[in-house]
Amino acid sequence: MEDYAEELRTPPVTLIYLVGCPDLHPTISSYLHSEQPPINTLALPDFSKISILGRTQKETVDSGQHGGILKRDWLLKHRTKVPAVVAALFSSDQVSGDPAQWLQVCTDLENLKIVVRGRNIKLVVVLVQSTDKDEVSEDRMIALRKRAEIDSKYLIFFIHNDASELTESLNRLGGALAELANLYYRDEGRRIKTRIEKKNFNHIELNIRYCFKVAVYAEFRRDWVEALRFYEDAYRALREMVGTSTRLPPIQRLVEIKIVAEILHFKMSTLLLHGGKVVEAVVWFQQHIVSYKTLVGAPEVVFLHWDWMSRQFLVFAELLETSAAAIPNTSSLILGSSERLLSEWEFHPAYYYELAAHYMREKRYCLEVALSPSETLKRIESSSESVIQYVFVGQFARLLEQGEAFVMQTLTDAEYVHYALAEGKRFQDSYEIIALLKKSFESYGNLKARRMASYCGSQMAREYFTLGEFSNAKSLFDGVASLYRKEGWITLLWEVLGYLRECSRRLGSVKDFIEYSLEMAALPISSVAESSSCKGEYGPAGSPALPQREMIHKEVFGLVKGEPILTSDEGNCNLAITDDQPLHLEIDLVSPLRVVLLASVAFHDQVVKPGVPISLTLSLLSQLPHPVEIDQLEIQFNQSECNFIITSAPKETVGASSVGETDTRLDSVPNLNLVTNKWLRLTFDIISEQSGKLECLSVIAKLGPYLTICCRAESPASMDDLPLWKYEDLVQTFPTRDPALAFSGQKVVQVEEPDPQVDLVLDATGPAFVGERFLVPVTVTSKGHAIYSGELKINLVDARGGGLVSPREAEPFSMDSHHVELLGISEPDGESEFQAGMDNIKKIQQSFGLLPIPFIKLGDSWCCKLEIKWNRPKPIMLYVSLGYLPNSEAGAQTVNVHKSLQIEGKTAVAMGHRLMLPYRRHPLLLSKIQVASESDHSPSLALNETNILIVSAKNCSEVPLRLMSMSIEMNDDEIGHSCTVQQGGDSPLDNARLVPGEEFKQVFSIIPQLSFPKLAMGTVSLRWSREFGFEEQSCSSLTATKVLTCYKLPDVNVEMVPLIVSLECPPHAVLGSPFTFYVKIQNETVLLQEFKHSLGDSQSFVLSGIHNDTIFVLPKSQHILGYKLVPLVSGLLQLPRVTVTSLRYSAELQPSLSASTIFVFPCKPQFMVDDMGSKLPEPIAT
Amino acid sequence: MIVCVAVVGHQNNPLYLQSFTEADDALKLHHIVHCSLDVIDERVNNPKKTGPTLNETFLGLLYPTENYKVYGYLTNTKVKFILVTTDLDVRDADVRNFFRRFHLAYVDAVSNPFHVPGKKITSRTFADRVSDIVRTFGLGTAV
């Protein structure tokens, strides 16, 4: 695009002239230039210069015999020389001045008019005034206008001394100029248009020229639609000219047509693209190419045609690129809006760049063909001198010197061809092609079209290759090859590798040469099927066929054996491997050379004991076309002492100990020949002394004296398919004979630890109890190993799974959230001073402990105790592992012993409680009446009444326990004062022994002293210990530890009691003897209370007293109902039922059955007389 | 005239590629087929651009090169068929018809119990059938 002249590339801009008053010119010019649309200005200082506007002698050339289509300088002339409007500036004092000045004005105007009228140029007269005050007389004004023959509106007053007036004037002037310029271009366009319409031309060339001119004038007016239409007309007319015109010699004729077509098409594309009509532009371009593609022209200048084609694509690509930058949404165009579906790439410049490069290559080829007859070269040099471009676009002429003047002489076709060839030689097409391809490559890369990009890349690389820039070519080819490798395009890869091989040969890089050659030789190119279909250009690789692969194979192995290869055709440099530069190739898991050598290593087992041999199968596979003989294989492990070497010579095996001084094992097998696509399987035994992982790292094959290939070992189980070969239709083969091993074999084996010779004993007697410090003795006994730097690891794990911590449950007993915790480790008594020093080494956490143990001699033992405390009944697993070194040497390996033990955690004591009211005393508890329906209310106690609490502790374990004390502890001071707790029964526990299943009860009396709805009664603390049997206590060192079990009593509701009904009767009665039975009703309130009471009849008694009545009890006083009863029968009898009803509280009281029974003796019991007074009343008192 | 047909697998690897020209441009055809995969990728990844061809196996004209036109077809198993022709004026219906028949031939070929999916198609019957389809390209509808 840069080849085009500026006037073609940019839209034309209106041109005007300014004459006179030169000091105003800069102001006016800059104003007009910044107008929208801008106007270019040519400023002439005075009227004497006006003659340059006059016609030159070129008219004569125009009418000459030798015509053309477009004149080269026509457009430039209209943009830089021929104005649309001339503005004549006169100052007001000139106009209104003395007659001499006025005369001068008139003369200038006349001269101007003569010049202007010939070309229809419009005229504006500007009267420059310094202020609007200095008036010019009306007569002079009219005279001036008449002289200038202009409309009054084109006589403009220009006032320049006042800023606002100046702007006003400039606006006025600008408006008039734009209007007139538009008028001028329209008139000119119309004038030529009429010529077209009247077909007023002799030649078709003129038609084209006229259309072009109309279009340009339309462009001046920014009438893009008309411009486009006339460009199209011109283009069509031009296309018709092909084959009909006879004006020029045929070669030059076609050249001219094509160049004009190019210009016209360029104009159209620009207009279309700037109008955003990308689809139309692309369709136009295609038509353009289709209609000119076949116009190849004479055979000797075919290259010109391809050059032209290439330029079309390049220019269109550049146009697309610039317009894509201007119009961002070209990519979102709806495809297929025209009837023909356009594909994606046709909207991207990359496509056109690539084709431009393609045609450029075509051009280069044709040019080379045209230049090849060497004898023409000389002549070309001489005859191409002094040929220049002719006045018409696309024509060339020879410039001859005739005396003083230069004369143009037309060329014959032969002369032109020579000129064109000479011109063609000047350009370096290869770099041009590379530049084009590079643009395409980058553009495709941005579009993420990798395959297109790599195609461009490979073409670019080929250009570099032909230019001899091998390192550039190689880096490009490398990128391309990786894509082809990945996608398995073998034929394409073959070609690229061929180039790469050649590049590295030319660059003298032995390693690369061998790598590429080996890869080529191992490509899956089968013998028959493909070779027939793969004709054509494959570059230095040759055709992809088996013989070629075999040839490459032989060449490489010849090189490996020391036969040098020439690096260049001149033969002055050798490619060889020498012993001072041995070659080492690495093949890893992603290397393309895996097809050359693949090493699979499988151990036959997954674990092995140290010192025990394990079988290892090494399988090698190669896809090279010929068998490969391996001289030596070295297998390397992560434990280097296991490394060994395999040689193929069987005779050397006996004397192989010569290698023994390097401590490397030497094996030999009869045959180390690798046959194409056939696994070479070798099985060996390996002994590892070191526990841990034994992994085969790599297999190093030595081929010939200088080449080693290091192949990363792969496990058959996780081995990828061979790249490229995996698409081939081959029989599946396994690296090992045993197919199961092929699927599961690993290159890693776990070497176990040596067997421990130490006993680790965990002792635990029975279940552990919650709360107790449970001791687990751990004994370490050395049986075969002395123990150096041993270490015990202790772990507590929930046996049922789940953690030992439950964050949700609040722990009432222990602030610690662990259900089971390791409290400590106590060591043997004798080493207590030693223990103090080790405290900092011991690490004990709730469920984990770490304990170093001292050196233990062979046969000795060592013991410690683990203290574990259960906070919740929970079974746990106790894991103890001992790690030690069997000797004190530096390389000794740790031996581990693991033991585990499940320990149940149980609750030893089940605690319970019962609250009771005093016997035969019934306080009215209002809450009982009101919320009888609610089941979960806390027990209610009467204020200031004695209540009885019975706490029971039951042994639910399987061992006897010894109880030490039971007490109720108030845990809060304030509430502690609120009730009095007394321990009933004066007897202490006396270390009561509690056999399994037995229940122990303790009675407390509680007198609440504070009315409070939620009164805490405190916590029962039970201290107990495990009671060991006699023999247990003697034999083990276990000592009973005191355990505190806490039991929280529920909160009680203490309330005021309004009424208390108590029954009183003797503890027993005697048959036939009367006794008194009282019902005492006590009113604790300050109100008068009304009661109803009734007494039921009983057959067992004869009674006297009121059966039914209503009574009133005064505040804070007591009413006593007395009945006299005579028992009629003996035994445990039910007293007559008493029912007391409080009317105020509508509460009825019926004593319970147990409270209203009495035992009646048949006669007076004699034996009890003494005790009666002291013992029997006791239950009532408590 | 059809100059080349190709079957391309999931990983964009060629499964079958046959050219039908006497000229020495087999390599060029390889390049063309390979490059056309970019267009298929583009169409498959940005289906909204192509609008009406969404969910259709026939991908239409992939791209025009200077001498060839390349058409594409994508099976439900993401195997691509590519056709390269030198005819400048090809009817869509012909190409569709061709791909339909080609697809049938491909299905028969891979249904062979001895064929391992994902490997190259080496069946001679398939090759014969393909060349038959190629030979009759454009004739069926023209008659």
H or E stretch covering A320: helix A302-326
Instruction: Collect all residues of chain A within an 8 Å Cβ-Cβ radius of residue B118.
Output: 726-727
In angstroms, the CA A279 to CA A267 distance is: 16
The number of residues making up chain A comes to: 1182
Q: Which residues contact A859 (CB under 8 A, 6 or more apart)?
A: A782, A783
Share of chain A above pLDDT 70, in %: 84
Instruction: Collect all residues of chain A within an 8 Å Cβ-Cβ radius of residue B7.
Output: none
CA–CA min distance A447, chain B (Å): 9
**Predicted TM-score (pTM) of this structure:** 0.68
pLDDT score for A382:
54
Interface residue A353 vs chain B (CB under 8 A): no
CA–CA min distance B101, chain A (Å): 23
Would you give the DSSP letter of residue A724?
A: T
Instruction: Judge whether residue A1037 has pLDDT over 70.
Output: no
Residue A765 burial (C-beta neighbours within 10 Å; 0-12, 13-18, 19+):
middle
The answer to whether A536 contacts B12, with C-beta atoms less than 8 Å apart, is no
Instruction: Judge whether residue A976 has pLDDT over 60.
Output: no
In angstroms, the CA A531 to CA A1124 distance is: 136
pLDDT score for A1174:
45
Q: Categorize the per-residue pLDDT at A1035 as very low, low, confident or very high, splitting at 50, 70 and 90.
A: very low
CA–CA min distance A528, chain B (Å): 12
Interface residue A1064 vs chain B (CB under 8 A): no
For the ranges A90-99, A612-621, A819-828, the maximum mean pLDDT occurs at A612-621
Closest C-alpha to A1142, from A1057, A1037, A1055, A1065: A1057
CA–CA min distance B62, chain A (Å): 6
CA–CA min distance A461, chain B (Å): 15
Residue A480 falls in which region: left (phi positive, over 0), alpha (psi -120 to 50) or beta: alpha
pLDDT tens-place string over residues A541-554: 777 888 888 888 88
Q: How far is CA A472 from CA A361, A460, A739, A766, in A?
A: 19, 9, 48, 84
The answer to whether B27 contacts A335, with C-beta atoms less than 8 Å apart, is no
Instruction: Judge whether residue A971 has pLDDT over 70.
Output: no
Give the residue with greater pLDDT, A177 vs A843: A177
Give the count of alpha carbons within 13 A of A70, CB side only. Answer: 29
Q: Are A581 and A514 in contact (CB under 8 A)?
A: no
Find the largest Cα–Cα distance for chain A.
183
Give the residue with greater pLDDT, A165 vs A465: A465
- Residue A256 phi, psi dihedral angles, 5° rounding: -60, -45
In angstroms, the CA A398 to CA B37 distance is: 52
In angstroms, the CA A463 to CA A481 distance is: 16
Q: Are A125 and A156 in contact (CB under 8 A)?
A: yes
In the block, which residue shows the tokens 């919650």?
A: A770
- Judging by DSSP bridges, how do beta strands A1147-1149 and A1131-1134 pair with one another? unpaired
pLDDT score for A1154:
76
Residue A534 burial (C-beta neighbours within 10 Å; 0-12, 13-18, 19+):
buried
Interface residue B24 vs chain A (CB under 8 A): yes
- Average pLDDT of the segment spanning A1168-1181: 45
In angstroms, the CA A816 to CA A211 distance is: 101
- Residue A876 phi, psi dihedral angles, 5° rounding: -130, 160
Interface residue A306 vs chain B (CB under 8 A): no
Of the candidates A332, A484, A537, the beta carbon closest to that of B27 is on A537
- Average pLDDT of the segment spanning A553-581: 73
In angstroms, the CA A1139 to CA A1123 distance is: 14
CA–CA min distance B136, chain A (Å): 21
In angstroms, the CA A352 to CA A317 distance is: 5
pLDDT tens-place string over residues B95-128: 888 999 999 999 999 998 888 888 888 888 999 9
- Residue A793 phi, psi dihedral angles, 5° rounding: -115, 130
In angstroms, the CA A588 to CA A712 distance is: 5
Instruction: Judge whether residue A318 has pLDDT over 70.
Output: yes
pLDDT score for A337:
41
Q: Mark which residues 459-498 of A lie under 8 Å from B by CB.
A: 484, 487-492, 495
* Per-position b or e across A37-46, b if 16+ CB within 10 A of its CB: eebbbbbbee
In angstroms, the CA B21 to CA A182 distance is: 61
pLDDT tens-place string over residues A251-260: 888 888 888 8
Instruction: Judge whether residue A1121 has pLDDT over 70.
Output: yes
Rg (C-alpha) for chain B, rounded Å, is 14
Q: Are A541 and A495 in contact (CB under 8 A)?
A: yes
Instruction: Collect all residues of chain B within an 8 Å Cβ-Cβ radius of residue A529.
Output: 122
Would you give the DSSP letter of residue A529?
A: T
Q: Are A1110 and A1090 in contact (CB under 8 A)?
A: yes
Query: What SS3 class is residue A1029?
Result: coil
Q: Are A1121 and A1105 in contact (CB under 8 A)?
A: yes
Q: Which residues contact A179 (CB under 8 A, 6 or more apart)?
A: none
pLDDT score for A133:
65
pLDDT score for B48:
57
The answer to whether A451 contacts B34, with C-beta atoms less than 8 Å apart, is yes
Give the residue with greater pLDDT, A1166 vs A176: A176
- ω before A250 within 30° of 0 (cis)? no
- Average pLDDT of the segment spanning A764-777: 79
pLDDT tens-place string over residues A1134-1169: 888 888 888 888 888 777 777 788 888 888 877 655
Q: Are A556 and A565 in contact (CB under 8 A)?
A: no
Full DSSP string of A829-881: GGGHHHHHHHTTT-EE-SSEEEEEE--B-TT-EEEEEEEEEESS---EEEEEE
pLDDT score for B105:
93
CA–CA min distance B25, chain A (Å): 6
In the block, which residue shows the tokens 């839209």?
A: A11
Query: What SS3 class is residue A516?
Result: helix
Interface residue B89 vs chain A (CB under 8 A): no
In angstroms, the CA A805 to CA A846 distance is: 10
Closest C-alpha to A783, from A843, A858, A851, A853: A858
Give the residue with greater pLDDT, A851 vs A832: A851
Interface residue B132 vs chain A (CB under 8 A): no
Instruction: Judge whether residue A334 has pLDDT over 50.
Output: no
Interface residue A358 vs chain B (CB under 8 A): yes
pLDDT score for B129:
92
Q: Which of A226-240, A677-691, A976-990, A1127-1141 has the lowest mean pLDDT?
A: A976-990
- Average pLDDT of the segment spanning A834-838: 43
Instruction: Collect all residues of chain A within an 8 Å Cβ-Cβ radius of residue B30.
Output: 489, 491-492
Q: Which of A214-218, A735-739, A1035-1039 has the lowest mean pLDDT?
A: A1035-1039
Rg (C-alpha) for chain A, rounded Å, is 60
In angstroms, the CA A943 to CA A965 distance is: 29
- Average pLDDT of the segment spanning A362-366: 86
- Residue A1054 phi, psi dihedral angles, 5° rounding: -100, 130
The pair of three-digit structure tokens given for residue A93, joined into one six-digit string: 């004092």
Interface residue A344 vs chain B (CB under 8 A): yes
pLDDT score for A60:
40
Instruction: Provide the H-helix boundaries in A1023-1078.
Output: 1030-1035
- Average pLDDT of the segment spanning A765-788: 81
The answer to whether A334 contacts B51, with C-beta atoms less than 8 Å apart, is yes
The answer to whether A495 contacts B19, with C-beta atoms less than 8 Å apart, is no
In angstroms, the CA A390 to CA A434 distance is: 32
Instruction: Judge whether residue A494 has pLDDT over 70.
Output: yes
In angstroms, the CA A556 to CA A550 distance is: 10
In angstroms, the CA A976 to CA A1006 distance is: 12
Of the candidates B18, B34, B61, the beta carbon closest to that of A343 is on B61
pLDDT score for A1165:
79
Instruction: Provide the H-helix boundaries in A429-545.
Output: 429-446, 450-467, 470-487, 490-507, 510-521
Q: How far is CA B41 from CA A182, A329, A919, B62, B74, in A?
A: 52, 21, 97, 11, 11
pLDDT tens-place string over residues B68-92: 888 889 888 889 999 998 887 778 8
Closest C-alpha to A291, from A360, A325, A326, A241: A241
Q: Would you tell me the crossing angle of helices A302-326 and A429-446 to the nearest 10 degrees? A: 30
The answer to whether B13 contacts A489, with C-beta atoms less than 8 Å apart, is yes
Residue A63 burial (C-beta neighbours within 10 Å; 0-12, 13-18, 19+):
exposed
- Average per-residue pLDDT in chain A? 78
A338, A450, A451, A720, best to mutate vs chain B, most B CBs in 10 Å: A451
Q: Give CB contacts under 8 A, 24+ apart, made by A296-302.
A: A297/A251, A297/A254, A297/A255, A298/A250, A298/A251, A298/A254, A298/A413, A298/A417, A300/A370, A300/A417, A301/A251, A301/A255, A301/A370, A301/A416, A301/A417, A301/A420, A302/A366, A302/A370
Instruction: Judge whether residue A655 has pLDDT over 70.
Output: no
Q: Which residues contact A1082 (CB under 8 A, 6 or more apart)?
A: A1059, A1060, A1061, A1062, A1113, A1117, A1118, A1119
Residue B124 burial (C-beta neighbours within 10 Å; 0-12, 13-18, 19+):
exposed
Interface residue A721 vs chain B (CB under 8 A): no
Instruction: Collect all residues of chain A within an 8 Å Cβ-Cβ radius of residue B38.
Output: 444, 449-452
Interface residue B27 vs chain A (CB under 8 A): yes
- Judging by DSSP bridges, how do beta strands A85-91 and A14-19 pair with one another? parallel
Give the residue with greater pLDDT, B111 vs A962: B111
Instruction: Collect all residues of chain B within an 8 Å Cβ-Cβ radius of residue A533.
Output: 18-19, 26
The pair of three-digit structure tokens given for residue A128, joined into one six-digit string: 């420059």
B22, B66, B116, best to mutate vs chain A, most A CBs in 10 Å: B66
Q: Are A204 and A68 in contact (CB under 8 A)?
A: no
Share of chain A above pLDDT 90, in %: 3
